[in-house]
A and B are shown apart, each in its own frame.
Chain A
Amino acid sequence: MTTAKMAVSSRTNSTSRSIGGGIVNGILYAVLIIASVVQILPLVWLLFFSLKNNQEVFNLPPFSLPTKLRWENYESVWSQGNISKYFINSVWITVVSVALTILLASFVTFAITRMKWKLRPFVLGLFMVGMMIPVHSTLIPLFNLFQKLHLTDNQASLVLSYTAFNLPITIMILLGFYYALPREVEEAAVMDGCSVNRVFFQIVLPMTASVIVTAAIINMIYNWNEFIFVNTFISSDNLKTLTVGVQNFVGQYTTNWGAIGATLMISILPILLAFFLLSNRIVEGIAAGSVKG
């Protein structure tokens, strides 16, 4: 569907395109391509040295592969320690926190942008200030709190913290889109006697699908990679997450670049996969949105 749309629009463009436009386009493409090379090169390098041994890392040019790819780097990393356990923990904590954050943030953003109440600016302010506190000054008070709630060494403490700390930024991302969203549909729905809950769940939430996916990706990245809270609130090894594992592993191989590369690759693969799956949803969401608009 998107390709069809693109083809249509490029055809309409081409009629008005001059030779000068072609040159500009060429330059634009060059810039875009250079930028993507800069963004992707270090990762390619990472992939390459994860398949080499030390000799090859130091003696071959950085962007060449050895004749024999050393997949055993991956095998040796994967066979060590608790990786599968860490992996499952990371997945479910990330999923639950992201879902909770998005739902709560959408509620709040809806109430702030659509509903009428006097304390809106104050409450919005409360959420925004939450972004500004440096994580490390919260560690001791938060540990105290969870201790009192008997939630230390319990993954609920992570879900609650991730949700709370991601709410402000999520609300902030949603806010701009809610303001820009046309209100006519909702107003009509309310006139027809639709309840607020139905307006929210059946009209507004679907309309914000694209930004929700954006916010979800951002949330996901934060939660997946977080380790300070994990190390502080969780003490049992089988409750910890993948970043902690990566941290512990990287230390071991300080002299073995191949193994470091393999560890890092393993830690980013799942999120990479999730990203490519979800990211297509954004495009669909955006396309759907723009058709409506």
Chain B
Amino acid sequence: MEKVMSNKGIIALYVLPSLLLIIAIIYLPIVLTGYYGLMQWDGISPMTFIGLENYSTLLHDEKFWSSVYHSFLFAVLSTVFLSVYMAVALVLSGNIRGANLFRKIYLLPMLLSSVAIAQLWLKIYHPTTGILNDFLTSLGVKETPEWLADPSIVLGALFVPILWQYAGFYILIYYAAFKNIPASLIEAARIDGASPIQIALRIKIPLISEVIKVTIVLAVVGSLKYFDLIYVMTDGGPNGASEVMASYMYHKAFRGFEFGYGSAIGFFLLLICLVATWGIRKLTETKDSIQYS
């Protein structure tokens, strides 16, 4: 067994093609992004080496930090919502009638492209003809909110469609994970007289802890580098009220002609994601050892 499963030739055959691919297509850009981050470069003229100056500018860039704050807010919110998705998946996986249909319905928004979702939600949020304000007006609300124009609510208004879009994705993953739990384990617990809630908390959730960890990392990293809907729906506005790290990077690198600075932001974003992932791994380590023993 040992011998067969440590056949170097096969390991190389299985791993190297993928490894080469990501080295060329992901690592090369990462390295170059780090490199450009040390340069003053508009993306056109020759670059000049300025060392860590971009990073020291970054540390004092208020707009950058407010975008970091928005991104983290979003990451936290996404993580909190995971528990909701898990609850839904738990219910769905419990042999409930119509689970299959529900699951499909939940995943529907995920099928739409960001362009389509943005168009749709722009119409929902439209201050005068949008369906949301129509609804509020019919309830008798006089001063309906200006969802995407009011700096105090725009961020919340943007999070809703993103959560809406990804809900089905996480529900699907949790659902598949719950369904993969051997039925015998649950049956045994039921015979022992455990209530459904006890079964969920003591058996089902601990058993999929590895999947949960994966989804937390996915949610956090995905939120930290989120770009699409925000870019189309508000472009970070009004006046930066919905700017997140990735959109700020894009604005600097591609609109503002500060490609060096934009790259520094991109590299910093990568570092933040790494630290966040490492932190999540650390925090969840204890459960990890239970799983493998």
CB–CB under 8 A between A and B in the complex?
yes
Render A46-69 as a binary contact track against B, CB cut-off 8 A, 1 for contact: 100100000001100010000000
Q: Say whether, besides A2-B100, A132-B270, A224-B113, A172 and B214 are in contact (CB < 8 Å).
A: yes
Name, among B8, B14, B119, B227, the residue most crowded by chain A CB atoms within 10 Å (CB to CB): B14
Which one of B6, B131, B184 contacts A293 once the chains associate, using CB atoms below 8 Å?
Answer: B184
Closest chain B CB from A234 CB (angstroms): 16
Contact of A176 with B15 in the complex, beta carbons under 8 Å: no
Judge whether B242 is part of the interface by a CB distance below 8 angstroms. no
Judge whether B158 is part of the interface by a CB distance below 8 angstroms. no
Contact of A225 with B114 in the complex, beta carbons under 8 Å: yes
Render A215-243 as a binary contact track against B, CB cut-off 8 A, 1 for contact: 00110010011010000000000000001
Q: Say whether, besides A39-B108, A165-B26, A136 and B180 are in contact (CB < 8 Å).
A: no
Within B155-210, the residues touching A (CB, 8 Å) are 164, 167-169, 172-173, 176-177, 179-184, 207-208, 210
Q: B7 to chain A: which residues have CB within 8 Å? A: 115, 196
Within A1-50, the residues touching B (CB, 8 Å) are 2, 6, 9-10, 13, 28-29, 31-32, 35-36, 38-40, 42-43, 45-46, 49
Contact of B176 with A210 in the complex, beta carbons under 8 Å: yes
Judge whether A206 is part of the interface by a CB distance below 8 angstroms. no
Contact of B173 with A173 in the complex, beta carbons under 8 Å: yes
Which one of A13, A40, A191 contacts B108 once the chains associate, using CB atoms below 8 Å?
Answer: A40
Contact of A145 with B274 in the complex, beta carbons under 8 Å: no
Judge whether B75 is part of the interface by a CB distance below 8 angstroms. no
Contact of A180 with B210 in the complex, beta carbons under 8 Å: yes
Contact of A133 with B22 in the complex, beta carbons under 8 Å: no
Closest chain A CB from B100 CB (angstroms): 6
Judge whether B69 is part of the interface by a CB distance below 8 angstroms. no
Within B1-50, the residues touching A (CB, 8 Å) are 1-2, 4-8, 10-11, 13-15, 17-19, 21-30, 32-33, 36, 43
Q: A191 to chain B: which residues have CB within 8 Å? A: 1
Judge whether A256 is part of the interface by a CB distance below 8 angstroms. no
Docked pose: A257 CA to B120 CA in angstroms? 10
Contact of A225 with B113 in the complex, beta carbons under 8 Å: yes
Q: What residue of chain B has the Cβ atom nearest to residue A289's Cβ?
A: B180
Judge whether B116 is part of the interface by a CB distance below 8 angstroms. yes
Docked pose: A164 CA to B176 CA in angstroms? 25
Closest chain B CB from A198 CB (angstroms): 11
Docked pose: A123 CA to B106 CA in angstroms? 34
Contact of B88 with A243 in the complex, beta carbons under 8 Å: no
Closest chain A CB from B172 CB (angstroms): 6
Chain B interface extent, by class: 35 or more
Contact of A214 with B176 in the complex, beta carbons under 8 Å: yes
Q: Which of the segments B53-61, B144-152, B233-241, B248-256 contacts the partner chain?
A: B248-256
Q: B225 to chain A: which residues have CB within 8 Å? A: 132-134
Q: What residue of chain B has the Cβ atom nearest to residue A37's Cβ?
A: B105
Contact of B10 with A137 in the complex, beta carbons under 8 Å: no
Q: A243 to chain B: which residues have CB within 8 Å? A: 113, 115
Docked pose: A20 CA to B111 CA in angstroms? 38
Docked pose: A141 CA to B23 CA in angstroms? 13
Chain A interface extent, by class: 35 or more
Q: Say whether, besides A187-B1, A221-B110, A227 and B180 are in contact (CB < 8 Å).
A: no
Judge whether B246 is part of the interface by a CB distance below 8 angstroms. yes
Within B117-159, the residues touching A (CB, 8 Å) are 119-121, 123-124, 129, 131, 134
Docked pose: A210 CA to B37 CA in angstroms? 42
Q: Say whether, besides A134-B269, A221-B110, A163 and B21 are in contact (CB < 8 Å).
A: yes
Contact of B18 with A10 in the complex, beta carbons under 8 Å: no
Contact of A107 with B18 in the complex, beta carbons under 8 Å: yes
Which one of B17, B110, B115, B183 contacts A227 once the chains associate, using CB atoms below 8 Å?
Answer: B115
Contact of B181 with A293 in the complex, beta carbons under 8 Å: yes
Q: Say whether, besides A123-B15, A134-B246, A169-B218, A176 and B208 are in contact (CB < 8 Å).
A: yes
Closest chain B CB from A76 CB (angstroms): 18
Q: What residue of chain A has the Cβ atom nearest to residue B87's Cβ?
A: A31
Contact of B119 with A190 in the complex, beta carbons under 8 Å: no
Contact of A32 with B33 in the complex, beta carbons under 8 Å: no
Q: B17 to chain A: which residues have CB within 8 Å? A: 104, 107
Closest chain A CB from B70 CB (angstroms): 15
Judge whether A211 is part of the interface by a CB distance below 8 angstroms. yes
Given contacts A6-B97, A62-B131, A276-B104, 5 further A-B contacts (CB under 8 A): A2-B100, A108-B18, A128-B277, A129-B270, A131-B273
16 contacts between A and B (CB under 8 A): A42-B121, A128-B277, A132-B277, A134-B225, A137-B267, A140-B36, A141-B29, A142-B25, A172-B218, A179-B210, A196-B10, A221-B110, A260-B119, A267-B113, A272-B108, A293-B181
Closest 7 CB pairs of A and B: A137-B266, A225-B113, A132-B273, A293-B182, A164-B25, A138-B29, A107-B14
Q: Which residues of chain B have a CB within 8 Å of any CB of chain A?
A: 1-2, 4-8, 10-11, 13-15, 17-19, 21-30, 32-33, 36, 43, 88, 91-92, 95-97, 100, 102-116, 119-121, 123-124, 129, 131, 134, 164, 167-169, 172-173, 176-177, 179-184, 207-208, 210-211, 213-214, 217-218, 221, 224-225, 227, 245-246, 249-250, 253-254, 259, 262-263, 266-267, 269-270, 273-274, 277, 291-292
